Amino acid sequence: MHSQFRPCIDLHNGQVKQIVGGTLHDTDAGQLHTNFVSVEPAAYYARLYREHQLQGGHVIMLGPGNQQAAAEALAAYPDGLQVGGGITVDNACEWIGRGASK
């Protein structure tokens, strides 16, 4: 059995981050701990995933302030990434129009 790599871009305050599980809280931002904070924007990783033909990935918006970075990532890899975090029946078509895969 082969494992399949699923690329992921986690966004927090517009930055790509790897957050330590259980440390992201709506009420206490001081509790946030990260393993990694990228100097590169989300679109950089989306282009990298596209160039290497990685499929089945997603962009996750963890809280507010991530819409621009998510939109740029989707534009860099149209129909190549799903998007999550704050997606509703009212805005889903807008995100698909920005390049999110279905």
Alpha carbons 54 and 46: distance in angstroms, whole number? 9
Amino acid of residue 8: C
Tens place of pLDDT per residue across the chain (102 aa): 777 888 999 999 999 998 777 667 665 556 778 888 999 999 999 999 999 999 999 999 998 999 999 999 999 999 999 999 999 999 999 999 999 998
Supply the DSSP symbol for 63.
S
Which residues contact residue 6 at a Cβ distance below 8 angstroms, ignoring those fewer than 6 apart? 56, 57, 58
- Transcribe 73-99 into DSSP letters: HHHHSTTTEEEESS--TTTHHHHHHTT
- CB-CB contact of 49 with 35 (8 Å): no
